[in-house]
Amino acid sequence: MDQRAHLNRTLWFRLKGFFCKAFTNLGRILKTLYILCYLTDPILRQTVQLQLNKSNMGLMRVRWWAYCWVRWLLSSLLNLTRWQTWNC
């Protein structure tokens, strides 16, 4: 019984390793096919670049708002310190 359980466990680990390698290689094949489609299909390339530009513009917009907010905050603090020094 113990030997049978050991064989089942060994078989299980071998099958698990086989399926892991199979799915890894399948993923590599799909990724390669997608890259080849991207290189040959101008419509797909344009769609992907458009999506990348949208996300990049969103990030630039957030950075611009953060820059404006920090600039306003610093100018407010400088104006406050100027007001305090002038009234001393």
The verdict on residue 19 lying in a domain is yes
The verdict on residue 75 lying in a domain is no
**Distance in angstroms (rounded) separating the CA atoms of residues 38 and 48:** 9
The verdict on residue 10 lying in a domain is yes
The verdict on residue 74 lying in a domain is no
Its domain, for residue 45, covers 2-63
Say how many domains are in the chain: 1
The verdict on residue 54 lying in a domain is yes
For each of the chain's 88 residues, which pLDDT tens digit applies? Answer: 566 777 677 777 788 888 889 999 999 999 999 999 989 999 988 888 888 777 777 778 888 888 888 888 888 777 765 555 555 4
The verdict on residue 29 lying in a domain is yes
Q: Is 45 in contact with 38 (CB distance < 8 Å)?
A: yes
